[in-house]
C-alpha cells in the first residue's frame, strides 16, 4: 500500500547517553526509511582533514557513494591508510591537498590510521541513507528534512561494546519526535601524543 | 744384730718415671689437640657461616641482577614485538585475511626477532595462524590471560610452558590503528639463555617447572648434564611457591640456592634456580684451615719435644730419689741424695736427706731401746740372750767354755713395797753401777728385768773364775746402799751355769743359772753352782705348789692345836692352831716346806681364810660344849696387805661360829709386820676394833724398834723360840727374854714364850713373870680330839701332873 507522498519534511532528535547516563559525543544516529526507498543522490565530497596530527573530525558519517578527500593541514607528511573491509585506503606520504578522492561505495565502518603517527585514529561510518547526524558534546543528534514515513533509527559509536538494535519510528510533519539511545561505550581515551615542541618539523 | 733383709723392689723405677713423662706428654698433647680442635671446630663453623652468608649475599645480589636482566630481556622482546606488529607491511599482510600470506609474514617477521613460535589470534581469542602447529588454528588461544593484560597495557608477556617447552611469550595487538588481531611471539628459554644469564650474573642458572603435583621438569640449565638429575632430586621436596634460600646437595657439592618464581599461575610453578657452590665461598677458608693444620702439627711436634725435655728434667731427679729410697729400704743409710737444683725437686731431695738422717738416728734409738735396759743403761734381756747365743756358738766352734751368772736381790720386794718404786729403781741403778764397775770390761753385765741381773763370762774358762766373779759381785754389794740418805743392806743370790756342761744352748744355760740362783736363795749360801738335783727339787716344789692348790678343796689340810699354858693360873686357857697338810702320797708335809711357797705365790690368802674359818668354828664348838679355850691363828704379811678382805672374813667367821671376837687371837711374825708397816698398822687397828686380840709372833728376829711396836695395835708378844731355847746355854739370851718380858709388860702387852721344853726354862719364865708358855714341855700340836682328851686328862691330874705328862709325851 502506497501512501500519498508527503511534501512536508519532518525532523528527528536523538539523545545518546553512555551506560552511565552521561551524554555521549561522537555517536552517529542514522535513519533508514522503512518502505519506499527514496533515492537521494549522494552529496558533494566530504573532507577528513589532518590537523595537528589528528583526524578531524574524529567520526565522519557519509552516505554510500560519497567521495571523501583527506587534505593534510599539517606541515608534516601523513600516510593515511585503512585496512577496513568496507574500504581499504593507502595514501602514502603527502601533505596539503589530498592526493586522491576515495569513493566509499560500501556501507560499513572504515577505521583510519596514519602509518607514521600511531596515535592518529579516525572513523568513517558509511551508511546507506542520507538521514544521519553526529552527536555533539551534549550527546544530541538532530536529523532534519526527513520526509514523513517510517524509519529504522540506528545509533553507533566507535567504542561501542555491542551493536545496538534500531528503533522504529514513524515521522509525520510537523511533529519532531525525540529518541533516546544508550550505548555501552567507554569514555574516549586519547592516545598519547608527543608534544609539538618535541616534533622537529 | 741384723736388720731383716729388704724385699726386692717391686717395680723397676724407670717404668714409673717413664710413665710420668708419658703422662705429662699425653696431657699437654691432649690439651693442645683439644684447644686446637675446639678452635678449629669453632673457626670452621664461623667460616662456614661466613661463607654461607657471603654466598647468600652474592646470591641475593645475583638474583636482583637476574631479575633485572629478565625484565630487561622481556622489555626488549616486548619492544621488538611491538615494533614488529606496527610494521605497515606486516599489518597489511595480516589485514589481507589470506592465511598463506599471514603464515609467511608471521614466519618472516618472527625470524627477525629470533622468535621460535608465532601465533596470530583473533580479537575473539581464536587462533588464526600458528607457525609451529597448524592444528591449533580455529582453537582457542591458550594464553587468553595475556591478551587481557595486553588489552590494558598494549603488550603482555610471561613465561609459559607449551608442549613441554619453556617459552617467553609476548603478546601484542595488531593495530590498524585499533586492534584487529593478537600476535604472540614465543622465545624458547633454553641452555643458551641460561648461559647468557650465567655470564652476566656469575650464578648457575636453571629453569624448572612443575604442573600440579607432577615431578619437577628441568628446561634449561648451566649445570653439566650429569648434575641435572641430582638437582631435580634435590628439588623434589620444594613446592616452588615461595622464593627461598636453600642449601641443596647437587652431585655431592653443596649449592646455595635461590628459587625465583617466574609466573603467577597457581597450578603451574615455573622457577628460575639460581645457585652458587658453597665451595667457592669456602675456598679461602680452606687455605686458612690448611695453614691452621700445619701450625697445629708443628706446635705438636715442639710440644712433644718440649714436654719430653721437661718431663726428663723432672723425672731424672725423681729417679735418683727413688733409687735413694730403695737404698734406704735395703737398709743402706750411707749415701745422701745429691741436690742439683734449688727447685721443688731439690727441696724434696733436701727433705729426703733430712728424713734419711731422722731415720738413721731413730733407728739407732730404737735399737738402743730394744737392746738396752732403760733404767740401768745395761744391755737388756734380749741383748743378753743374743750375745749369749753368739758366745755359745763361738765357744762351740772354738771348743771353749763359758759361764753365765744370774742373780737377784734378796728381799728386794720389801724395799719396793716399803720405800716405794722410785727408791727401788734407784737401788737397782746403784746395783748395776757397782756390779758393772766390779767386773772386767770384757764381762757382759745385763739387767734381765725386775731385780734380776745376769753376767756373761766369755774369757773365764775355769770354774774358779766364775766363783771369783760371784765373790766380786757379793763384795760390791757388801757396802750398804745409801738412797736419799737412808742406808740399806743389799744381798744377792747368785746362780752359776757353765757351758757346755750345764747346757748346750743359751736358753738351757739361762734356765740352769736360774735354778742355781733359787738354790742359792733357798740355801742362803750367797751363790750356787748349778746341780742337776736342783732341778729335781725345783720340780718337786712346782709339783707341790700345784697340789697345794687342790689341798684346800680336797680337805687335805687339817688343823692341829698346841696348848698355851697360863703360867699365873696354871691351866690351859688357849691354843695355837697350826696347819698341817695330810698329803695322800707323802703323808704329813712340813709347813716349813709349803707355807713359804704359798706366801711367794699368794696362795697363802686362801689357806689363811680356811684356817681362820676352821679354827673359829672349832673354837665355837668347844665354847658350846663348855670348853672355853681362846684360839690363836697365824696370818701372814700378805694377809695383812689384803686389809679389809681379811677383816671382813674374820668378822664373818666369828659371826658364823657365834663366837665373841675376844676368843680369837691373830698372830703375825715380826718380820711380816716389817714388810709393809703401813698396811699392817691399819689392818691391825681394824682387827682390834673388831675385838680380836693380836699378837706379834717370833718376836726378836725382825729388828723392829720398840717405838714401832708401841704404835701397833697389838695385845701380845711371843718371844722367839730361839731365845727361849738358848736361855740355859747363854745368859745373854736369858737377859733378852727377861728384858723382853719386862718391856712387853711395860707396854701393857701379854707375853708368851714359845718353844718351852725344860723345867729350867719354865722356872725361869715364871721367875721373869712371863704370862703364857707354849712348847713340847706341855704338849705337841695335836688334832682337836686328841687335844680334848689331853685337856680332860690334865684337868683330872691337875696342872703339875699334866706338865710332867706332857713332858713324857714329848
How distant is the Cα of A130 from the closest Cα of chain B, in angstroms?
Answer: 27
Helix (H, G, I), strand (E, B) or coil at B570: coil
**Statement: residue A155 has pLDDT above 90:** yes
**Statement: residue A62 has pLDDT above 90:** yes
Interchain CB distance below 8 Å, A111 and B177: yes
When pLDDT is cut at 50, 70 and 90, the band that residue A55 belongs to is: very high
pLDDT digits (tens, 9 = 90+) for A83-95: 888 899 999 999 9
Chain B residues whose beta carbon lies within 8 Å of the beta carbon of residue A82: 176
The mean pLDDT of chain B is: 84
C-alpha cell at B225: 648434564
Average pLDDT over residues B722-733: 85
CATH of domain B543-809: 3.20.20.450
**Of the listed ranges A64-78, A141-155, B308-322, the one predicted with least confidence:** B308-322
CA atoms of B751 and B744, how far apart (whole Å): 6
pLDDT digits (tens, 9 = 90+) for B355-391: 888 888 888 888 888 888 888 889 988 889 989 999 9
Interface of B with A in 79-138 (CB under 8 A): 86, 88, 91-92, 95
Most confident stretch, B455-469, B725-739, B746-760: B746-760
Tell me the longest C-alpha to C-alpha distance in chain B. 205
Residue with cell 749415701: B335
Average pLDDT over residues B298-323: 82
Interchain CB distance below 8 Å, B177 and A88: no
Instruction: Give the model's pLDDT for residue B244.
Output: 64
CA atoms of B777 and B806, how far apart (whole Å): 6
Torsion on CA atoms B563, B568, B571, B573, rounded to nearest 10: -50
**Statement: residue B490 has pLDDT above 60:** yes
**Statement: residue B497 has pLDDT above 50:** yes
Interface of A with B in 92-131 (CB under 8 A): 111-115, 118-121
Superfamily of domain A8-38+133-185, CATH level 4: Carboxypeptidase-like, regulatory domain (2.60.40.1120)
Asked if A110 and A82 touch (Cβ cutoff 8 Å), the reply is yes
**Statement: residue B803 has pLDDT above 60:** no
**Statement: residue B69 has pLDDT above 70:** yes
Cis previous bond, B570, omega within 30: no
pLDDT digits (tens, 9 = 90+) for A17-49: 998 999 999 999 999 987 665 666 667 889 999
CATH of domain B10-303: 3.30.450.20
**Statement: residue B802 has pLDDT above 70:** no
When pLDDT is cut at 50, 70 and 90, the band that residue B153 belongs to is: confident
Q: Which helix (H) or strand (E) holds B152?
A: helix B144-153
C-alpha cell at B305: 719435644
Asked if B719 and B741 touch (Cβ cutoff 8 Å), the reply is yes
CA atoms of B73 and B194, how far apart (whole Å): 12
Average pLDDT over residues B761-782: 91
Average pLDDT over residues A4-11: 60
**Statement: residue B255 has pLDDT above 90:** no
Nearest residue of chain B to residue A79 (CA atoms)? B88
Within 8 A by CB and 6+ apart from B154, the residues are: B82, B172, B173
**Statement: residue B35 has pLDDT above 80:** yes
Domain B372-530, what architecture? 2-Layer Sandwich (3.30)
pLDDT digits (tens, 9 = 90+) for B652-679: 999 998 889 999 999 988 877 777 777 7
**Of the listed ranges B113-117, B252-256, B741-745, the one predicted with least confidence:** B252-256
Is it true that A8-38+133-185 and A41-129 share their CATH fold? yes
Interface of B with A in 146-185 (CB under 8 A): 175-178, 180
Instruction: Give the model's pLDDT for residue A1.
Output: 37
Angle among Cα A170, A174, A175 to the nearest 5 degrees reads 50
How distant is the Cα of B88 from the closest Cα of chain A, in angstroms?
Answer: 7
CA atoms of B512 and B490, how far apart (whole Å): 24
Instruction: Give the model's pLDDT for residue B494.
Output: 92
Domain ranges of chain A: 8-38+133-185, 41-129
Chain B residues whose beta carbon lies within 8 Å of the beta carbon of residue A84: 176
Average pLDDT over residues B215-231: 87
Question: Can you name the CATH fold of A41-129?
Answer: Immunoglobulin-like (2.60.40)
Instruction: Give the model's pLDDT for residue B646.
Output: 87
When pLDDT is cut at 50, 70 and 90, the band that residue B11 belongs to is: very low
Exposure string for B618-645, b = 16+ CB within 10 A, e = fewer: bbbebbeeeeebbbbbbbbbbbbbbeee
- Please name the residue ranges forming H helices in chain A: none
Best mutation target, B172, B177, B180, to test chain A (most A CBs within 10 A)? B177
Rounded percentage of chain B residues whose pLDDT exceeds 90: 17
Chain B residues whose beta carbon lies within 8 Å of the beta carbon of residue A157: none
pLDDT digits (tens, 9 = 90+) for B178-208: 888 999 999 898 899 899 889 988 888 999 8
Instruction: Give the model's pLDDT for residue B19.
Output: 66
**A69 reaches B (C-beta below 8 A):** no
Domain ranges of chain B: 10-303, 372-530, 543-809
Between A79, A83, A114, which is nearest B95 by CB? A83
ipTM more than 0.90? no
Exposure string for B743-772, b = 16+ CB within 10 A, e = fewer: bbbeeebbbbbbbbbbeebbebbeebebbb
**Statement: residue A192 has pLDDT above 60:** yes
CA atoms of A9 and A148, how far apart (whole Å): 6
Average pLDDT over residues B398-404: 89
pLDDT digits (tens, 9 = 90+) for B332-358: 888 888 877 778 888 888 888 898 888
Rounded percentage of chain B residues whose pLDDT exceeds 70: 93
Chain B residues whose beta carbon lies within 8 Å of the beta carbon of residue A120: 177
pLDDT digits (tens, 9 = 90+) for A173-184: 677 788 999 999
Nearest residue of chain B to residue A89 (CA atoms)? B92
Secondary structure, 3-state, B192-252: HHHHHHHHHHCCEEEEEEEECCCCCEEEEECCCCCCHHHHHHHHCCCCCCCCCEEEEEECC
Helix (H, G, I), strand (E, B) or coil at B711: helix
When pLDDT is cut at 50, 70 and 90, the band that residue A197 belongs to is: low
Instruction: Give the model's pLDDT for residue A40.
Output: 67
Average pLDDT over residues A127-138: 92
Amino acid at each position: 500500500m502506497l501512501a500519498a507522498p508527503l511534501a512536508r519534511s519532518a525532523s528527528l532528535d536523538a539523545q545518546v547517553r553512555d551506560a552511565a547516563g552521561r551524554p555521549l559525543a561522537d555517536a552517529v544516529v542514522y535513519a533508514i526509511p522503512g518502505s519506499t526507498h527514496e533515492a537521494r543522490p549522494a552529496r558533494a565530497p566530504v573532507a577528513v582533514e589532518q590537523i595537528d596530527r589528528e583526524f578531524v573530525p574524529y567520526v565522519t558519517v557519509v552516505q554510500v557513494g560519497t567521495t571523501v578527500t583527506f587534505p593534510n593541514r599539517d606541515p608534516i607528511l601523513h600516510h593515511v591508510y585503512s585496512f577496513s573491509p568496507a574500504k581499504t585506503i593507502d595514501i602514502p606520504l603527502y601533505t596539503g591537498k589530498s592526493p586522491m578522492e576515495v569513493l566509499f561505495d560500501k556501507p560499513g565502518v572504515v577505521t583510519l590510521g596514519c602509518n607514521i603517527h600511531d596515535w592518529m585514529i579516525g572513523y568513517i561510518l558509511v551508511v546507506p541513507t542520507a538521514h544521519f547526524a553526529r552527536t555533539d558534546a551534549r550527546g544530541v543528534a538532530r536529523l532534519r528534512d526527513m520526509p514523513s514515513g517510517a524509519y529504522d533509527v540506528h545509533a553507533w559509536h566507535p567504542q561501542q561494546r555491542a551493536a545496538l538494535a534500531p528503533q522504529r519510528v514513524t515521522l509525520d510533519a510537523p511533529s519532531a519526535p525525540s529518541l533516546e539511545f544508550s550505548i555501552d561505550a567507554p569514555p574516549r581515551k586519547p592516545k598519547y601524543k608527543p608534544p609539538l615542541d618535541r616534533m622537529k618539523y | 744384730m741384723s736388720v731383716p733383709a729388704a724385699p726386692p723392689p717391686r717395680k723397676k723405677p724407670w717404668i714409673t718415671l717413664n710413665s710420668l713423662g708419658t703422662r705429662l706428654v699425653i696431657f699437654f698433647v691432649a690439651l693442645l689437640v683439644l684447644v686446637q680442635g675446639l678452635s678449629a671446630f669453632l673457626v670452621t663453623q664461623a667460616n662456614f657461616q661466613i661463607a654461607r652468608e657471603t654466598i647468600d649475599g652474592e646470591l641475593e645480589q645475583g638474583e636482583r641482577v637476574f631479575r633485572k636482566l629478565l625484565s630487561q630481556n622481556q622489555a626488549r622482546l616486548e619492544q621488538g614485538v611491538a615494533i614488529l606488529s606496527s610494521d605497515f607491511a606486516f599489518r597489511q599482510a595480516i589485514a589481507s585475511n589470506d592465511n598463506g600470506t599471514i603464515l609467511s609474514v608471521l614466519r618472516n617477521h618472527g625470524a627477525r626477532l629470533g622468535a621460535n613460535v608465532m601465533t596470530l589470534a583473533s580479537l575473539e581469542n581464536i587462533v588464526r595462524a600458528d607457525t609451529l602447529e597448524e592444528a591449533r588454528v580455529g582453537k582457542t588461544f591458550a594464553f587468553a590471560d595475556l591478551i587481557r593484560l595486553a588489552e590494558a597495557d598494549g603488550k603482555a608477556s610471561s613465561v609459559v610452558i607449551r608442549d613441554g617447552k619453556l617459552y617467553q611469550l609476548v603478546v601484542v595487538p595488531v593495530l590498524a590503528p585499533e586492534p584487529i588481531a593478537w600476535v604472540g611471539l614465543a622465545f624458547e628459554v633454553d641452555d643458551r639463555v641460561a648461559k647468557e644469564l650465567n655470564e652476566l650474573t656469575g650464578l648457575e642458572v636453571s629453569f624448572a617447572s612443575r604442573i600440579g603435583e607432577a615431578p619437577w621438569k628441568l628446561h634449561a640449565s648451566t649445570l653439566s648434564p650429569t648434575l641435572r638429575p641430582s638437582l631435580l632430586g634435590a628439588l623434589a621436596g620444594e613446592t616452588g611457591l615461595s622464593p627461598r634460600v636453600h642449601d641443596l646437595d647437587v652431585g655431592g657439592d653443596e649449592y646455595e640456592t635461590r628459587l625465583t618464581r617466574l609466573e603467577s599461575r597457581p597450578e603451574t610453578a615455573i622457577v628460575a634456580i639460581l645457585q652458587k657452590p658453597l665451595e667457592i665461598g669456602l675456598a679461602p677458608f680452606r687455605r686458612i684451615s690448611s695453614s691452621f693444620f700445619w701450625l697445629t702439627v708443628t706446635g705438636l711436634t715442639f710440644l712433644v719435644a718440649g714436654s719430653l725435655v721437661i718431663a726428663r728434667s723432672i723425672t731424672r731427679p725423681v729417679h735418683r730419689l727413688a733409687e735413694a729410697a730403695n737404698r734406704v729400704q735395703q737398709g743402706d743409710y750411707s749415701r745422701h741424695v745429691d741436690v742439683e737444683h734449688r727447685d721443688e725437686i731439690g727441696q724434696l731431695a733436701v727433705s729426703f736427706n733430712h728424713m734419711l738422717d731422722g731415720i738413721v738416728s731413730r733407728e739407732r734409738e730404737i735399737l738402743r731401746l730394744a737392746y738396752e735396759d732403760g733404767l740401768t743403761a745395761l744391755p737388756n734381756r734380749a741383748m743378753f740372750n743374743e750375745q749369749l747365743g753368739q758366745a755359745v756358738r763361738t765357744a762351740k766352734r772354738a771348743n771353749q767354755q763359758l759361764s753365765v751368772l744370774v742373780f737377784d736381790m734378796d728381799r728386794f720386794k720389801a724395799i719396793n713395797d716399803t720405800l716405794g718404786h722410785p727408791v727401788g729403781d734407784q737401788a737397782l741403778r746403784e746395783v748395776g753401777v757397782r756390779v758393772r764397775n766390779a767386773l772386767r770390761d770384757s764381762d757382759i753385765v745385763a739387767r734381765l728385768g725386775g731385780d734380776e741381773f745376769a753376767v756373761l763370762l766369755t774369757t773365764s774358762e775355769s770354774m774358779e773364775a766364775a766363783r771369783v766373779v760371784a765373790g766380786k759381785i757379793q763384795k760390791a754389794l757388801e757396802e750398804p746402799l745409801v738412797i736419799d740418805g737412808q742406808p740399806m743392806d743389799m744381798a744377792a743370790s747368785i746362780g752359776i751355769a757353765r757351758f757346755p756342761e750345764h747346757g748346750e744352748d743359751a736358753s738351757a744355760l739361762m734356765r740352769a743359772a736360774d735354778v742355781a740362783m733359787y738354790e742359792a736363795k733357798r740355801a742362803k749360801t750367797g751363790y750356787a753352782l748349778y746341780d742337776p738335783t736342783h732341778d729335781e727339787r725345783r720340780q718337786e716344789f712346782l709339783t707341790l705348789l700345784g697340789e697345794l692348790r687342790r689341798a684346800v678343796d680336797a680337805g687335805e689340810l687339817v688343823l692341829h692345836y698346841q696348848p698355851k699354858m697360863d703360867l699365873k693360873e696354871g691351866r690351859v686357857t688357849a691354843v695355837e692352831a697350826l696347819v698341817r697338810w695330810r698329803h695322800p702320797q707323802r703323808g704329813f708335809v712340813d709347813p716349813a716346806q709349803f707355807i713359804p711357797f704359798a706366801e711367794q705365790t699368794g696362795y697363802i690368802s686362801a689357806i689363811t681364810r680356811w684356817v681362820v674359818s676352821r679354827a673359829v668354828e672349832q673354837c665355837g664348838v668347844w665354847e658350846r660344849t663348855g670348853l672355853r679355850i681362846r684360839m690363836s691363828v697365824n696370818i701372814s704379811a700378805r694377809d695383812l696387805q689384803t686389809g679389809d678382805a681379811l677383816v671382813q672374813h674374820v668378822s664373818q667367821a666369828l659371826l658364823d661360829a657365834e663366837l665373841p671376837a675376844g676368843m680369837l687371837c691373830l698372830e703375825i711374825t715380826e718380820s711380816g709386820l716389817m714388810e709393809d708397816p703401813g698396811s699392817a698398822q691399819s689392818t691391825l687397828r681394824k682387827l682390834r676394833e673388831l675385838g680380836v686380840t693380836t699378837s706379834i709372833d717370833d718376836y726378836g728376829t725382825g729388828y723392829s724398834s720398840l717405838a714401832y711396836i708401841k704404835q701397833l695395835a697389838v695385845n701380845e708378844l711371843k718371844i722367839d723360840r730361839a731365845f727361849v731355847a738358848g736361855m740355859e746355854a747363854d745368859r745373854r739370851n736369858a737377859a733378852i727374854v727377861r728384858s723382853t718380858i719386862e718391856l712387853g709388860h711395860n707396854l701393857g702387852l701379854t707375853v708368851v714364850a714359845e718353844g718351852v721344853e725344860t723345867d729350867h726354862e719354865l722356872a725361869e719364865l715364871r721367875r721373869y713373870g712371863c704370862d703364857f708358855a707354849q712348847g713340847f714341855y706341855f704338849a705337841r700340836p695335836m688334832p682337836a680330839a686328841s687335844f680334848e682328851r689331853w685337856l680332860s686328862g690334865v684337868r683330872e691330874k691337875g696342872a703339875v701332873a699334866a706338865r710332867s705328862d706332857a713332858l713324857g709325851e714329848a
